[in-house]
């Protein structure tokens, strides 16, 4: 009989958010009114808390992002012919990467709050 109980060293998913977003979308785009530019970032699955984007530590946009901010982000799907989605997204954490291949970047954790169909809106 096979024992399916977890052992102390077994890996199991501890994240709050399911991984379906990272499987559907490749990148996000949003703008900050004060900056006047549109920014696009590739979605990452490197944060212990879940979904995030990486921003260079000297990027001007970091002056305008704060934990708790809620932004309307345009999510680009992995499948090129699929429709983009506008999703209300909260900034959950901003964490400096001190080592490894992401050294010099900050991981900006994202939490999906509300998905709406704004496909006809221009961002």
Which CATH number covers residue 34? 2.40.10
Residue 29 in any domain: the answer is yes
Q: Is 6 a member of any domain? A: no
Parent domain of 94:
20-116
Q: Is the pTM of this model over 0.85?
A: no
Within 10 A of 73 (CB to CB), how many other CB atoms are there? Answer: 24
CA distances from 68 to 5, 90, 113, 119 (A): 38, 6, 12, 25
Residue 13 pLDDT > 60, yes or no? no
* H or E element that contains 24: helix 20-24
- Identify the DSSP state of 15: -
Give domain status of residue 15, yes or no. no
Gap between the Cα atoms of 72 and 56, Å rounded: 21
Most confident residue range from 64-68, 98-102, 116-120: 64-68
The answer to whether residue 80 is domain-embedded is yes
Tell me whether residue 1 is in a domain: no
Which of 43-52, 55-64, 92-101 has the weakest average pLDDT?
43-52
**Overall number of domains in the chain:** 1
Report pLDDT for 85: 92
Asked if residue 13 is part of any domain, the answer here is no
Residue 54 lies in a domain: yes
Are residues 97 and 103 in contact, defined by beta-carbon separation less than 8 angstroms? yes
Specify if 92 maps to a domain: yes
pLDDT of residue 123: 39
Structure tokens of 66? 């704060």
């Amino acid at each position: 009989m096979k024992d399916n109980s977890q052992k102390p060293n077994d890996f199991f998913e501890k994240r709050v958010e399911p991984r379906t977003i990272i499987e559907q979308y490749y990148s996000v785009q949003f703008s900050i009114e004060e900056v006047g530019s549109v920014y696009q970032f590739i979605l990452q699955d490197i944060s212990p808390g879940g979904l995030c984007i990486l921003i260079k530590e000297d990027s001007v946009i970091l002056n305008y992002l704060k934990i708790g901010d809620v932004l309307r982000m345009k999510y680009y799907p992995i499948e090129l012919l699929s429709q983009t989605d506008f999703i209300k997204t909260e900034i959950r954490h901003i964490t400096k990467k001190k080592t490894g291949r992401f050294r010099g970047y900050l991981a900006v954790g994202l939490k999906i709050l509300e998905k709406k169909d704004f496909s006809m809106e221009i961002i």
